[in-house]
Amino acid sequence: MKEIRRQIKERQFHKVYLLTGDEDYLVRQAKTMLKHALVQDGDEMNYTLYETGRIDFSQLGEQAQTFPFFSEKRVIMLDRTGVMKSGKDQFLEILKTLPPTTCMIICESEVDKRSKIYKWIKKNEYVREFLKKEQTEKVLLRWIAAMLARDHKQIRESDARYFLELVGNDMYEISNETGKLISYVGDRAEISRADIDSISSGQVANKIFELVASIAGGEKAKALDCYNDLLLLKEPPMRILYLIVRQYRTLLMICNMRPLRKPDSEIAQAAGIPPFAVKRNAALLKGYDARQLELSIERCTQVEEEIKTGRIGDQIGLELLIVGLSDRSYLVDQS
């Protein structure tokens, strides 16, 4: 982002920008920054948007060669069109012949770095790849602090870490939940853990973690309390079941990868969790081995089928499942 901000500040733009990667929040932020810097809001004469769909490359070529109307630049935005795959030589020729008054912004979640188009853009224009794995805990904590500072708010580092554990590493979710916190505290400057618990939708994720932790520890009463708390949060039983299964699958992934000495970043990517959450989840493995985790998932699947076929009600089905999984002899007998 620093390089893009520098180009905007100095008004030194490339003709082609390729913004890619799995961190969609930053891809969209970069494209919005460039668009606002290059064309005025509401200027439809000098801005063309292509979204998912078939592209007429003859028309695209004509638009690319058209000079802007009372503006410094004509901007063409290609957002998730797959143009890097579909255009090939025809699209590459358009890029090579762009006049200095046209700026083309290409946004794709993933690209083939071996392709001629990618290599040409990389060599002659500008490529920026935004990746979730680059958004470490340290980076996200700094980002949260910056968002809060803009509204004259602050938070303890330990509470910010707690906030991330609840919300996860999705930057859209972090941004939304941070906005909620700012609104919730009003004129108060400091955000507390109690504020986080009051407003954050991460409560659900944390309750699921507590639920599975209680099950792993054989604490039936505590597990049922967590389940009732989730019902009070208006979570439907079938969604709770889905989240329990997802938690078990995360644990199974960690259980299988850790003995292979895989780094936490690789495990996190495979499990779909933040890198800093791997150790927290791994702590639950003291109550399980891989076979027991597989059996737990199988049991969840059986209960799901029983509920969907009407053999048992959803709430009672979940209660019996939680009690059964909390009973260590159930897993031992099955294994």
- Indicate which CATH number applies to the domain containing 32: 3.40.50.300
pLDDT > 80? residue 312: yes
- Which band of pLDDT confidence, cut at 50, 70 and 90, is reported for residue 77? very high
Cα–Cα distance for residue pair 20/223, rounded to 1 Å: 42
pLDDT > 50? residue 335: no
- Between the two ends of the chain, the Cα-to-Cα distance in Å is 52
The CATH number given to whatever domain includes residue 282 is: 1.20.272.10
What are 121-148's pLDDT values in tens digits? Answer: 999 999 999 887 788 888 899 999 999 9
Residue % of the chain over a pLDDT of 70: 95
| Per-residue tokens: 335 | 């294994």
What are 15-33's pLDDT values in tens digits? Answer: 999 999 888 889 999 999 9
Q: How far is CA 297 from CA 199, 201, 273, 293, in A?
A: 31, 25, 19, 6
Question: Residue 272's pLDDT is what?
Answer: 73
Return the C-alpha torsion angle 90, 96, 102, 106, nearest 10: 60
Q: What is the pTM of this model?
A: 0.61
Asked if 327 and 240 sit in the same domain, the reply is: yes
Mean pLDDT of the chain: 86
pLDDT > 70? residue 200: no
Question: Residue 19's pLDDT is what?
Answer: 95
**What is the residue range of 95's domain?**
2-130
Asked if 210 and 311 sit in the same domain, the reply is: yes
Asked if 126 and 149 sit in the same domain, the reply is: no
What are 210-232's pLDDT values in tens digits? Answer: 888 888 888 889 889 888 888 88
Asked if 176 and 218 sit in the same domain, the reply is: no
Question: Residue 201's pLDDT is what?
Answer: 59
Nearest CA to 271 among 242, 300, 249?
249
Given 183, 199, 215, which residue is the final one in a domain? 199
Residue % of the chain over a pLDDT of 90: 29
Nearest CA to 299 among 331, 276, 275?
331
Asked if 80 and 96 sit in the same domain, the reply is: yes
Asked if 191 and 208 sit in the same domain, the reply is: no
Asked if 117 and 225 sit in the same domain, the reply is: no
Asked if 124 and 141 sit in the same domain, the reply is: no
pLDDT > 80? residue 153: yes
Tokens 């999705």 sit at which residue? 170
Q: What number of CA atoms fall less than 13 Å from residue 58's CA on the CB side? A: 0
The radius of gyration of the chain from alpha carbons, rounded to an integer in Å, stands at 25
Number of domains in the chain: 3
Asked if 266 and 181 sit in the same domain, the reply is: no
Given 79, 105, 130, which residue is the final one in a domain? 130
- Which band of pLDDT confidence, cut at 50, 70 and 90, is reported for residue 202? low
Which is more confidently placed, 154 or 131? 154
Asked if 8 and 126 sit in the same domain, the reply is: yes
pLDDT > 70? residue 203: no
Question: Residue 331's pLDDT is what?
Answer: 55
Asked if 242 and 330 sit in the same domain, the reply is: yes
Given 179, 199, 219, which residue is the final one in a domain? 199
What are 84-104's pLDDT values in tens digits? Answer: 887 678 889 999 999 999 999
SS (H, E, C) the chain: CHHHHHHHHHCCCCCEEEEECCCHHHHHHHHHHHHHHHCCCCCCCCEEEECCCCCCHHHHHHHHHCCCCCCCCEEEEEECCCHHHHCHHHHHHHHHCCCCCEEEEEEECCCCCCCHHHHHHHHHCEEEECCHHHCCHHHHHHHHHHHHHHCCCEECHHHHHHHHHHHCCCHHHHHHHHHHHHHHHCCCCEECHHHHHHHCCHHHHHHHHHHHHHHHCCCHHHHHHHHHHHHHCCCCHHHHHHHHHHHHHHHHHHHHHHHHCCCHHHHHHHHCCCHHHHHHHHHHHHHCCHHHHHHHHHHHHHHHHHHHCCCCCHHHHHHHHHHHHHCHHHHHHHC
Identify which of 87-91, 200-204, 296-300 has the greatest average pLDDT.
296-300
Asked if 101 and 27 sit in the same domain, the reply is: yes
Give me the mean pLDDT over the 291-310 stretch.
88
The CATH number given to whatever domain includes residue 187 is: 1.10.8.60
pLDDT > 70? residue 332: no
Question: Residue 16's pLDDT is what?
Answer: 94
